[in-house]
Amino acid sequence: MARVRQYTMNVDDASNTQNKLDRQWELLEESDIDGSDRKAIHDFVRMERQGNQDVALNTLYRDLSSLRNASDRAAVPLVEMDRSDYRDLIRTLTKPKDQDGYGLEPNGSGMRGYKAAIKVFFEWLDDEPDYEDFGFYEGIDTPSQSISRVNEDEILEPEDIEALKQHTKNHRDPALIEFLVDSCARASLALQLRVKDVHDLNTKRPYFTPNPNGSSHKGAPDKRYPILQSSAELRTWLNQNHPDPRDESPLWPVLRNYDYDNPEECALSTDALRSMLKICADRADIEKPVNPHNFRHTGITRLSREGFQPQEIQHIAGWNDKRMLQAYDHTTDRQRNEKIRVKTGYVEEADDDTGPSKPKTCGNCRETLKPTAQFCPRCGAPADRTTEDAVNEQDNRIIESAAQADTELAGAVLEFRQLLDESPRLRRELLDV
């Protein structure tokens, strides 16, 4: 059955985790698996995992799905297995499909999920007096989850980010794109933010705190996280363009059919975010991955390139384990060497873009802008000399066209120029910078 995408979610559950979990309970009851397995899986997940251990909703979902499928695909019920039966199940799961197996990669995420769920299930069975000895659970290998690597050439560069923003169709999406890179936040955490979770935005020290009721944060500590290069975009979004900037409203709401009486039900979903990013990438002819996970890799790599300390990156990324940096940092040895030379004073500046970036100020409205900004998101003024020259050249072409046209057409051309002045977003889309 085709997966139905939902673009509107409760702000506390942008990934729709609770509904997905509820569906797993239904599938367990509807399944044709052995009745003793069904009862044991139900009791294990409901009483032990949910009741005694209070594990995350995503973990409950994984346990239910993996154990139900394992029972369905095993030759004997899970509650009657011995070590040999377990090994037979693993062989069945990893055997190629053309050999009557399920074709799972032995070290892939699918097998990790199966092994993790089965191991804790067997451990519980081993402690329960109604079941046989399951002490062999201790020998089940459950390697730590590896982080899917992103190739260095797949990291989004500043020009890629700007291109994505230029191909959005509303005021929300450029700010959201910038925030994803700046915050290095997981999509679920970012989309579950409410307006009141952003603090001191109109100062030089803005920060955000995770929605305390949000699900699927994967252990990100509930602490203050800095808002850096996305501060100008966020200020413009919240102060000028957000449809409902009340405290309880989603920071990233849907823009169609927004329910002002129930704002908490109008958060943008992770499905909608992925769809938006893909559409913008197609418009901009960007072939690099633009999934939220790559934005996290990109943001963390940018922090490393700019000389942030591992402890600082760990704080911004919300990690409990600094070893995660090895998977997310895509700086090269050469870039690291340049940072070391600058810090120790052997060179005044790096010969590539590895030094710390400094914010700049809009010459028109004095808004603080990110270093690579081409336009001010607040007033629309060009933010660097290259962009300013491009705007002037565009204006000169328009004026020249007006001078060569008849009176009626000249008036229309000049009206178009006025429209560009009043709509920086339109001007930005028409410029080749």
**Mean pLDDT across 230-247:** 95
Residues 83 and 108 grouped into a single domain: yes
**Of the residues 90, 108, 139, the one at which a domain ends:** 139
51 within domain boundaries: yes
Residues 338 and 395 grouped into a single domain: no
How far is Cα 65 from Cα 63, in angstroms, rounded to an integer?
6
Position 147 pLDDT exceeds 60: no
**Mean pLDDT across 291-315:** 87
Q: String of b and e for 185-214 (b: at least 16 CB within 10 Å)?
A: bbbbbbbbbbbebbeebeeeebbbebbeeb
Kindly tell me the number of DSSP H helices and DSSP E strands found in the chain: 17, 7
**Mean pLDDT across 49-69:** 94
Domain count across the chain: 3
116-125, 150-159, 316-325: which has the minimum mean pLDDT?
316-325
Query: Given this model, what pLDDT does residue 1 score?
Result: 39
pLDDT digits (tens, 9 = 90+) for 387-420: 888 878 877 777 777 667 677 777 777 777 777 7
Query: Given this model, what pLDDT does residue 175 score?
Result: 97
14 within domain boundaries: no
Residues 133 and 167 grouped into a single domain: no
249, 282, 276: which is closest to 170 by C-alpha? Answer: 276
Residues 339 and 394 grouped into a single domain: no
278 within domain boundaries: yes
pTM strictly above 0.85: no
Name the residue range of residue 378's domain: 361-430
**Of the residues 275, 310, 344, the one at which a domain ends:** 344
400, 398, 388, 396: which is closest to 424 by C-alpha? Answer: 388
Between 403 and 157, the higher pLDDT residue: 157
Query: Given this model, what pLDDT does residue 148 score?
Result: 54
How far is Cα 359 from Cα 371, in angstroms, rounded to an integer?
5
pLDDT digits (tens, 9 = 90+) for 335-367: 656 655 555 455 566 565 555 567 788 878 888
Residues 182 and 208 grouped into a single domain: yes
Residues 366 and 287 grouped into a single domain: no
Residues 391 and 319 grouped into a single domain: no
144 within domain boundaries: no
Residues 276 and 322 grouped into a single domain: yes
Residues 244 and 292 grouped into a single domain: yes
**Mean pLDDT across 424-430:** 69
Beta bridge partners of 369: 360
341, 431, 343, 347: which is closest to 392 by C-alpha? Answer: 431
Residues 331 and 365 grouped into a single domain: no
Position 146 pLDDT exceeds 80: no
**Mean pLDDT across 157-183:** 95
Q: Which CATH number fits the domain that encloses residue 332?
A: 1.10.443.10
349 within domain boundaries: no
**Mean pLDDT across 40-65:** 94
Query: Given this model, what pLDDT does residue 2 score?
Result: 43
146 within domain boundaries: no
Containing 199, the helix (H) or strand (E) segment is strand 198-199
User: What's the alpha-carbon Rg for the chain, to the nearest Å?
Assistant: 26
Band the pLDDT of 3: cuts 50, 70, 90.
very low
107-116, 275-284, 392-401: which has the minimum mean pLDDT?
392-401
**Of the residues 83, 116, 139, the one at which a domain ends:** 139
373 within domain boundaries: yes
336 within domain boundaries: yes
Residues 325 and 373 grouped into a single domain: no
Residues 62 and 165 grouped into a single domain: no
Q: Which of 47-56, 300-309, 338-347, 391-400 has the highest mean pLDDT?
A: 47-56
